[in-house]
Amino acid sequence: MDRATLSTANNSQAGEKKDGHTVVYILGVRGCQHLGYGNAKMRVNPTTRWNQRVVDGHIAHDLTTRAMIDAGVQAIIDGGDLTHRARPVPRDVELANRVDDLRARANVWGLGNSGNHCAGAGTDISAMGTMHRPDLGMHAVYPDPRRGAGDGTGPHPGLYEIHRPVDGLAIHAVSHYGLDRSLADAGVHIDPAPLPGHVNLFICHGTFEADGRLYHCIDPEGQERPIPVEWAGRGWDAMLLSHYHSLGAVPGHEQDGPGQVWYTGSSLTRGFSDELGPRGWLHVTVEDAGRVHVQARTIWQRPQYDLPIINAADLSTDAIDSLITERIDSLDLEDGQSANLTQDAGAIVRQRIASTTPAQRAALRALQPRWNRLASAAASWQIDYPRSPMRPLIENSGPVQRLITGRVTDYGTELEARAVDLAARIGVPDVIADPVHAKALEWARQITPASATSNVTDTS
């Protein structure tokens, strides 16, 4: 059966009219649930005594699945990183299976892909393997050394699989393992392509090379693996990706129809390394003519505030104290929905103070107990002291700007003194600034004055 006759297939839960067409298949796509993620600065849950952020993640996962079922989905796809660790603790596996039972009882087909946080070290298997329950309609994409020749879903079991839950629909899943570029050295070539005559959805866990926001994906867990940009031009009806934690369409690929690229986002914000924004899942509908529509659906999240950074260079301790006191007083530190769902109403709040001297930091830390009391309703309240900004990257010399390459002989040392301080000035989180800075230093130390100026033309 091809895409033109998809309307006759398994449409018992669909049938809604949309723009003159009939919706014939509905999918819910989520990713980056990160079950087990905890924030060390959070309170503990009063009932379980677990880190409150772990409980938040469990509840967000449950809410996501229930919202999908309530929306009448016929398939649930997990894009990867269901658990925060490759070796999840029992409480996270138990919660994942209990929530998956909701899917099974609703007779909804399921597929779970492996992400970088799922990937086991050495000879271990993916944490997503705990969700491989085909007898309950749940299939997981992960390499398994116990598989024999021809065992598993192809073309490359665990790396690139094509699943067809209903005639006329092909779901192409490339796992984190399948993005490993060293596979080609072993003679394995992952080359996903749409199936003729089908509605083709592409599922993958990685960083999309055409997305200018790639620097937000810095992640210390596992290897960073990009999704080749040329894959986007192969005629997919939709690319539904996970790994980047912001929900929505990739800029430049928002069009409704073939060529659209979406990220599932995550179920909750991980500290302040993620961009603040809505959390949720993707509601994907397939029409009788084969057209695919994607909409972002949101779920509850705990209120989170990243207060504007304070530059202490020109402020007295009293002025900083007054400013922080004002800001705490102006915030709504408690949220009723969070209280009802999680037993803790508190918001997550961070205040950064830059450009401090050692003496200032000592004076400010003496004030912190009072700030803590003022912010005691928050589930997490933190004061951070990022590195202080120093001098600009380009200096003025009379009316003409002079590039620093004209006087620098040791680029590694020069970058050491400047780059991270610039990141602090513009508010780049340490989780992003530090890895980028380390890589930039590695490159800068390989530059000599001769190589830096060999391609520079003097136009004076």
Token pair of 187 as six digits: 């003679």
Is residue 255 in a domain? yes
End-to-end CA distance of the chain: 69
Same domain, 399 and 431: yes
Long-range contacts of 134-140, Cβ-Cβ distance < 8 Å, separation of 24 or more: 136/100, 136/101, 136/104, 137/103, 137/104, 137/107, 137/108, 137/109, 137/110, 138/100, 138/103, 138/104, 138/110, 138/111, 138/112, 139/110, 139/111, 139/112, 139/163, 140/111, 140/112, 140/113, 140/114
Query: Could you tell me which of 460, 333, 307, 332 has the C-alpha nearest to residue 398?
Result: 460
Domain that holds residue 350: 303-385
In 63-103, at which residue ranges do the beta strands (DSSP E only) sit? Answer: 75-78
Torsion of Cα atoms, 410 then 413 then 414 then 418, to 10°:
170
Q: Rounded CA gap, 204 and 313, in Å? A: 46
Q: Rounded CA gap, 239 and 262, in Å? A: 6
Count up the domains in the chain and report the number: 3
Token pair of 225 as six digits: 């693996």
Same domain, 73 and 102: yes
Q: Rounded CA gap, 62 and 82, in Å? A: 12
- Look at residues 385, 417, 433 and tell me which one is the last residue of a structural domain: 385
Is residue 212 in a domain? yes
- Look at residues 298, 332, 364 and tell me which one is the last residue of a structural domain: 298
Query: Could you tell me which of 188, 187, 159 has the C-alpha nearest to residue 172?
Result: 159
CATH label of the domain that carries residue 294: 3.60.21.10
Same domain, 314 and 417: no
What's the pTM value of the predicted model, to 2 decimals? Answer: 0.81
Q: Give the pairing type, strands 17-18 and 21-30.
A: antiparallel
Q: How far is CA 422 from the centre of its chain?
A: 25
Is residue 229 in a domain? yes
Burial class (CB in 10 A: 0-12, 13-18, 19+), 273: middle
pLDDT in tens, the chain (460 residues): 356 556 444 444 566 655 556 889 999 999 999 999 999 999 999 999 999 999 999 999 999 999 999 999 999 999 999 999 999 999 999 999 999 999 999 999 999 999 999 997 778 999 999 999 999 999 999 999 999 888 899 999 999 999 999 999 999 999 999 999 999 999 999 999 999 999 999 999 998 876 666 544 445 566 678 898 899 999 999 999 999 899 999 988 878 778 899 999 999 998 888 888 999 999 999 998 889 999 999 999 999 999 999 999 989 999 999 999 999 999 999 999 999 999 999 999 999 999 999 999 999 999 999 999 999 999 999 999 986 443 333 332 333 332 333 344 455 555 655 554 455 444 555 555 656 666 666 566 556 544 443 333 333 3
Q: How far is CA 98 from the centre of its chain?
A: 24
DSSP assignment of 343-378? S--B-EEEEEEES--HHHHHHHHHHHHHHHHHTTTS
- Look at residues 298, 330, 365 and tell me which one is the last residue of a structural domain: 298
Is residue 93 in a domain? yes
Query: Could you tell me which of 55, 92, 98 has the C-alpha nearest to residue 342?
Result: 55
